[in-house]
């Protein structure tokens, strides 16, 4: 929290005037204070149980023999302090992301969600760099941002840190179990 306060102070080289942007915290407008995190997305939550609408007459239960128990994904969500949805949710699924079946499946997702595939269905430094370039940098509006992240190894590689520096992104790395406090 001290790090965030210290790095939020207006600096001599800041061109952002107080009157030309919505309220913010120090050098950051609310639109440029962002928290991002990933969470696993299992396809089978409780063996032998399912979710259905109340009153359904037939409920299909998928058994673990189907392979759905091995399929997983990761969802990455980004939240701006002004609550505007500037950065699309990102879903990673296991696979190569090629072939007709995958392309058909991707087309079924809402256009407000970015769907990607990789070998292990979770974020890594390669797809994290893609997210920075494709989704984060375009919303910066040439303003500095502060980005709160957890201590996941992919968030701290030299290439990622260099990309942050080049784009005036201050990273606030949050220790495990402390996200809710910050």
Give the confidence band of 18 by pLDDT, cuts at 50, 70, 90.
Answer: very low
Residue with tokens 């207006």: 10
pLDDT value at 19 more than 50 = no
Q: Is 86 exposed, middle or buried (0-12, 13-18, 19+ CB in 10 A)?
A: middle
Separation CA 80–CA 89 (nearest Å): 12
Tally of CB atoms within 10 A around 62: 14
Measuring CA to CA, how many Å separate 64 from each of 95, 119, 148?
A: 20, 21, 37
Q: State whether residue 29 is helix, strand or coil.
A: strand
Q: Mean of the per-residue pLDDT values for the chain?
A: 78
Cβ atoms 130, 106 nearer than 8 A: no
Q: State whether residue 27 is helix, strand or coil.
A: coil
So where are the chain's domains? 2-38+68-174
Tell whether domain 2-38+68-174 is in CATH 1.10.150. no
DSSP state string for 87-123: S--EEEEES-S-SHHHHHHHHHS-TTSEEEEETTSS-
Average pLDDT over every residue of 30-55:
75
What are 49-72's pLDDT values in tens digits? 666 777 887 776 655 555 545 567
């Amino acid at each position: 929290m001290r790090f965030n306060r210290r790095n939020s102070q207006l600096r001599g080289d800041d061109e952002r005037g107080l009157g030309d942007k919505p309220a913010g915290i120090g050098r950051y407008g609310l639109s440029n204070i962002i928290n991002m995190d990933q969470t696993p997305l299992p396809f089978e939550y409780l063996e032998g149980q399912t979710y259905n609408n109340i009153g359904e007459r037939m409920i299909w239960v998928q058994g673990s023999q189907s392979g759905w128990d091995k399929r997983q994904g990761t969802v990455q969500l980004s939240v701006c302090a002004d609550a505007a949805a500037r950065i699309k949710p990102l879903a990673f699924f296991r696979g190569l992301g090629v072939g007709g079946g995958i392309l058909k499946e991707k087309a079924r997702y809402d256009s407000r969600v970015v769907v990607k595939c990789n070998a292990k269905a979770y974020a890594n430094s390669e797809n994290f760099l893609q997210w920075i370039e494709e989704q984060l940098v375009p919303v910066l509006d040439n303003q500095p941002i502060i980005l709160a992240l957890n201590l996941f190894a992919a968030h701290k590689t030299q290439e990622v840190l260099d990309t942050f520096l080049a784009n005036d992104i201050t990273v606030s790395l949050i220790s495990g179990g402390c996200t809710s406090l910050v």
